[in-house]
Amino acid sequence: MALTTMLNGGGNTIHNPSVAFTTPQNYASRLSHLLTVNAFKPLWCPTLTIQPTPSTFSPYLSPHSLDPFSAIAFTSRTAIQSFHQAISSLSHPPLSVDGPTFTVAALGKDSELLHKEFLSRICAGSDRVKVLVPPVATPSSLASELGDGGGRRVMCPVPLVVGLEEPPVVPSFLQELRDGGWVPVRVEAYETRWSGPRCAEGIVKAVEEEGLDAVVFTSSAEVEGLLKSLDGFGMGFGDLRRKCPGLVVAAHGPVTAAGAERLGVEVDVVSSKFHSFDGIIDVLNVKLATRFRI
């Protein structure tokens, strides 16, 4: 139920809660739209920038060069986009038509990018390629759903983290694959960079001038980027809490929540439907609705 619906009845005054979110640009428009149509006032303060690096796939894009692999495991939308960019101009697909089943795996709504045209760029014989979407949109679930690797190779397009400590998500995912008998081949498909010392400025200004009702994090790297910028302003996350006593911290899924907690940021609500951003909207609606029925 949207917050507008919940607050319109009984002559109640509507308040549009302000919600800051720190996601990179490639996810920002989708989350901003959902916040807006649900009567929140979005404040976009990206703490990360994402830059695809499709050239890193070059060693794997000649004819038959994917034949030594049995799967590609995408753990982010940007990785799929970078790979698509790399294969879009190929004259011949890099995977042979004949051979055992080749698995292309992705998480949640990211799997929408694994459309027919995309798969045909990988292999002209569509019967050889199957799409795998784990029931839970986490890297750990993906590793589990891939099953026993039996010594087979799996390509793992992942980010190169610049200016921040690499979160444990990717190393843990690669280790889980090894534990499952796979041989993961890491390909740095894009760069995740800190947005710089001023990236928290919008949040700091909102807190100081008009207050802030919630902050949404969609990855633990975003949390680190915010904390690093806040430090430059002589602040910690506790200062935001003190200035905005009712501030709600929302995490997009348990992996992000665990990363935030590891960095010392207590999370108030966690989306349980983290295959899309609809889940984060749901938990914000529930958490904030009663507060603004005035």
**Fold held by 16-47+196-292:** Rossmann fold (3.40.50)
**Torsion from C-alpha of 148, 150, 152, 153, nearest 10 degrees:** 50
Domain 51-194 class in CATH: alpha beta
Q: What is the pLDDT of residue 69?
A: 98
First to last CA, the chain: 18
What whole-number distance in Å separates Cα of residue 57 and Cα of residue 85? Answer: 10
CA 132 to chain centre: 18
CA 44 to chain centre: 16
What whole-number distance in Å separates Cα of residue 209 and Cα of residue 202? Answer: 10
The SS3 of residue 100 is coil
DSSP alpha helix (H) spans, the chain: 3-8, 25-37, 77-87, 116-122, 139-146, 169-179, 201-209, 220-232, 237-243, 254-262, 278-289
Encode the chain (294 residues) as per-residue pLDDT tens digits: 345 444 444 444 457 899 999 999 988 999 999 999 999 999 999 999 999 999 999 999 999 999 999 999 999 999 999 999 999 989 999 999 999 999 999 999 899 999 999 999 999 976 899 999 999 999 999 999 999 999 999 999 999 999 999 999 999 999 999 999 999 999 999 999 999 999 999 999 999 998 999 999 999 999 999 999 999 999 999 999 999 999 999 999 999 999 999 999 999 999 988 778 999 999 999 998 766 553
Q: What is the pLDDT of residue 292?
A: 58
Question: Residue 35's closest CA among 258, 245, 284?
Answer: 284
Q: What is the pLDDT of residue 7?
A: 44
Q: Where in the chain is the domain with CATH 3.40.50.10090?
A: 16-47+196-292, 51-194
